[in-house]
Chain A
């Protein structure tokens, strides 16, 4: 027998995702990321407080900037909260808090998880979405997010030294590559949903139409909040439609 330290009793073929996704250690890691950002915020605010008087900036203006930023982010934050709750069933609370609420974005993280599941021959959220698939999906999301942070850590000091950025040297390539990459990724991930079932096909259309309508209304009515909430609203409409189609079928 090979001695192995097993701290959490996982079952690779179990589809009880929440049993593994909400283990205390994952909660501990998630709260760790929260704590790190809180500490960063305090350190930054303190550094700004020290520097401000030297650039003729009264403490009142620092406070005002803090408050303006806080107020401006209430709407977008609640919009993220709404989308995050919709994904709790898929990833459990700690993973949603870290991956979707903080470091990443809903689209990139869910995309990574989906790609990882497919690479194991499984479907995210499907009947073959086991604890093992969840774990590999979380690994893929986390490594992808880590690469984003790593390149920020490496590139920021380089760009600060004033090295001419690629953006300045070749604006055409710099604009085209990320645009094509993003559109390619989300087109592929969206269209891959179509052949799964007729309900999937309808829901992609419902969700796309809801988003189109929200963005159109936001533009016509000059409602910025609607643009922020568009993703949450579209998911809510599509999921509700999915529930009725599923129970009717």
Chain B
């Protein structure tokens, strides 16, 4: 049908077209998703008579930014080499990247015997994320949207009150252990926990006004102290690799 050289160039050209198409579709749909996700809160702030002052939003946003701002930039940078540009627009809208989307992509690539990073591997990864998205959207709509809402309406009010009151400690203990195990870095773990204990049991009792930015301060201090007290030997060998 065609000589190898022609097959090669046509393969490259069609992959280039695929990249271009998915970049356009991806950025357009992500922008649409971003707008939809902001409509709800905008509606509550401006049209629901909840008397929300602009200062409340600024303070809350600053406190959140100081805590998670680093991750806004670091996460996309970290996942780009693994996901590739097409899947980036899928992953950061669907969420649950490391525990669901990446495993799905790897399973799909190995089931058709395609290498990650190859053309077939890239297409397999995108299709796998499409499959994962379909399952995820359907199960969320069905089990949370319909069943969950019904379930919560059936549960007695006092049980809901207890759940609401204690959901945070019940969630955070597990989340902390999960992130400690996932990060596998002893020094920053000890530093973060010591700083958090100092903040909550020494600083806050003395200066309650700090509460607003307590988490942010612990985050910033953890970064600085972990950097100052870093394991220089291990890091030097790493950079020299």
Can you name 8 A-B residue pairings with CB atoms under 8 Å?
A: A77-B140, A102-B95, A139-B57, A159-B85, A176-B227, A184-B195, A184-B221, A201-B169
CB within 8 A of A159: which of B15, B77, B137, B148?
Answer: B77
**By DSSP majority rule, is chain B's interface helix, strand, loop, or mixed?**
helix
A112 and B37 CA atoms in complex are apart in Å by 15
A215 and B112 CA atoms in complex are apart in Å by 31
Interface flags for B135-172 (1: CB within 8 Å of A; 0: not) read: 11101110111001101100000011011111111111
Interface residues of A in 66-124 (CB under 8 A from B): 66-74, 76-78, 80-81, 84-90, 93-98, 101-108, 110-112, 114-116, 118-121, 124
Task: Assign chain B's interface to a size class.
Answer: 35 or more
Which chain A residue has the least Cβ–Cβ distance from B73?
A151
CB within 8 A of B152: which of A69, A88, A115?
Answer: A88
Contacts of B108 in A (CB 8 A): 64-66, 68-69, 72
A193 and B76 contact, CB distance less than 8 A: no
Which chain A residue has the least Cβ–Cβ distance from B197?
A191
The smallest C-beta distance from A145 to any residue of chain B, in angstroms, reads 6
Answer yes or no: A205 CB below 8 A from chain B CBs. yes
B44 and A210 contact, CB distance less than 8 A: no
A43 and B25 CA atoms in complex are apart in Å by 7
Given the interface pairs A135-B44, A193-B168, the reply to whether A186 lies near B175 with Cβ below 8 Å is: yes
Which chain A residue has the least Cβ–Cβ distance from B118?
A55
B177 and A211 contact, CB distance less than 8 A: yes
A72 and B60 contact, CB distance less than 8 A: no
Contacts of B107 in A (CB 8 A): 68-69, 71-72
Which chain B residue has the least Cβ–Cβ distance from A60?
B112
A84 and B179 contact, CB distance less than 8 A: no
How many chain-A residues does the 8 Å CB contact rule pick out?
171
Interface flags for B74-108 (1: CB within 8 Å of A; 0: not) read: 11111011000110111011111001110111011
CB within 8 A of B174: which of A135, A152, A210?
Answer: A210
Given the interface pairs A48-B127, A234-B170, the reply to whether A111 lies near B68 with Cβ below 8 Å is: yes
A185 and B74 CA atoms in complex are apart in Å by 15
The smallest C-beta distance from B12 to any residue of chain A, in angstroms, reads 9
A112 and B65 CA atoms in complex are apart in Å by 9
Contacts of A155 in B (CB 8 A): 73, 76-77, 80
Interface flags for B42-74 (1: CB within 8 Å of A; 0: not) read: 011101111110001101110111011111111
Which chain B residue has the least Cβ–Cβ distance from A62?
B127
A61 and B112 contact, CB distance less than 8 A: yes
Contacts of B67 in A (CB 8 A): 111-112, 115, 181, 185
Answer yes or no: B238 CB below 8 A from chain A CBs. yes
CB within 8 A of B223: which of A85, A150, A165, A181?
Answer: A181
A235 and B135 contact, CB distance less than 8 A: no
B144 and A81 contact, CB distance less than 8 A: yes
